[in-house]
Amino acid sequence: MARQPDIRKAYHFELAQLGDQILTMGSMVDKALERSMDALARRDVDQARQVVADDSFINAKRMGIEDGAVILLATQQPMASDLRFITSVEHIATDLERMGDHARSISRLSVKLCAEPPMRSVNEFPRMVASCRQRLRLALDAFIERDADKALACARQDSELDQLQDDVYDLMLSTMEKDGSTIVRATYLLWIAHNLERVGDHITNVCERVIYLAKGRREELDEE
């Protein structure tokens, strides 16, 4: 295959393009996550609003990827691993879009939080975002390399996010108990933690897709 003249050059080019599109979308989501958290930390309303507005680009990207996938399916009759690749691309694009939505939600909450008096910073948030970004990168690496082991390793890291979310939950509960005036703010922060945890779940979904892509069989990873 490697040395043979590629008689379906355009087809293979388009397949590679689909992969590139997923990486591009991944980068958009990564930046949205990073910026939403940065806006929250610096109480930067403008940046938070920008993240909310930029989500439409992520959604548009997903549509573009879906169209590309459908056209390939319709015109090239892909088989076996190519077929799995194209269907996986569609699913991963959906998961990425949902992650973008969570970044948007975080930014919306940031805008609301900026109207409230400042509260002590939550050290778990930078760690949660770092975990999300690192895992997203790892999952997309696994996707490009079709590496099931990498995807599995990435999926297993989800427990860290769950743990951090629980920590935020405890912290916020005790804050609210101590000082009733913090209830509104603490609730917003709880939602932010929840959104980050959901991002982690979508990354796990991507990992499942990658394993399906690499091995041709589905593995449910949520149990662990």
- Bin 77: left if φ > 0, else alpha if -120 < ψ < 50, else beta: left
Task: Pick between residue 155 and residue 164 the one whose CB is nearest to other proteins.
Answer: 164
Total Cβ atoms within 10 A of residue 70 = 12
Q: With respect to other proteins, which residue has the nearer C-beta, 112 or 127?
A: 127
Number of residues that bind other proteins (CB under 8 A): 42
Interface segment toward other proteins; rule CB under 8 A; list 109-117, 131-139, 171-179, 201-209:
131-139
Q: Which is nearer to other proteins, 14 or 219 (CB)?
A: 14
- Please identify which residue in 43, 98, 112, 137 interacts with other proteins, judged by CB under 8 A: 137
Q: Which stretch binds other proteins (CB under 8 A): 36-44, 101-109, 190-198, 208-216?
A: 36-44
Per CB under 8 A, the list member of 44, 49, 66, 76 interacting with other proteins is 76
Helix axes 183-215, 124-145, angle to 10 degrees: 20
Residue 19 near other proteins by CB under 8 A: yes
Q: For other proteins, which is the closer residue by CB, 133 or 209?
A: 133
Give the C-alpha distances (Å, rounded to integers) separating 138 from 41, 47, 133, 202: 25, 27, 9, 13
Tokens matching residue 115: 């109207």
User: Of residues 44, 50, 64, 112, which one binds other proteins by CB under 8 A?
Assistant: 64
Q: Contacting other proteins (CB under 8 A), which of 59, 63, 67, 116?
A: 67
Task: Say how far apart CA 18 and CA 24 lie, in whole Å.
Answer: 10
Work out how close the CB of 152 gets to other proteins at its nearest, in angstroms, rounded to a whole number: 20
Q: Are 190 and 169 in contact (CB under 8 A)?
A: yes
| Shortest distance in whole angstroms from residue 101 CB to other proteins | 18
DSSP for 77-98, please give it: ---HHHHHHHHHHHHHHHHHHH
The string of DSSP codes covering 175-204 is HHHH-GGGHHHHHHHHHHHHHHHHHHHHHH
Residue 121 lies near other proteins (rule: CB under 8 A)? yes
